[in-house]
Amino acid sequence: MRLVKPTATMLLVAIVFGAAGLAVSSFFKTDRATDAGGIRLPTLSAQGSAGKVAFETNCVACHGINASGTKLGPSFVNPIYNPGHHGDSAFWHAVLQGVRQHHWHFGDMPKLPLVTDAQIKDIVRYVRELQVANGIVAQPQ
């Protein structure tokens, strides 16, 4: 077997193709990863990341991983929860006062008195970032 010494041209070609590969892979990775349920996962803001933690602590048991829903509660990555139909105040109301069943068959949601105002704000941001990544934007109702 004969070893070939790398030339400057070969090194330059390898660097160019390597850089191009990284650029392409990062383009396709950004905001395009999906979970097992097909929900697109965005690159979260700092507040969205804090909201994800608060969501996973307080909401995930009923509303599922990445707000994908469970047998106990609906997915928030659903057009019915777009900001034009369910504004941010609807989430605040649900957490602070509970909410009666109205769109789904899951039953009433109890109030969650241990969730702080700061956590609610962060959770709403997390949900909205998930929605935007999945094409759910405000629609007039």
Architecture of domain 34-133: Orthogonal Bundle (1.10)
Tens of pLDDT, residues 42-87: 999 999 999 999 999 999 999 999 999 999 999 999 999 999 999 9
pLDDT of amino acid 24: 36
Please state the pTM of the whole predicted model.
0.76
pLDDT digits (tens, 9 = 90+) for 88-123: 999 999 999 999 998 889 999 999 999 999 999 999
Token pair of 78, please?
Answer: 């659903």
Helix (H) or strand (E) holding 80: none
Q: How many CB atoms lie within 10 A of CB 47?
A: 16
Other Cβ atoms closer than 10 A to 131 = 23
Sign of torsion, CA 30 33 39 43? negative
Cα-based distances in Å from 80 to 65, 92, 101, 109 = 18, 17, 14, 17
Tokens of 4: 């070939």
Q: Which residue has the higher pLDDT, 30 or 66?
A: 66
In the chain, where are the structural domains located? 34-133
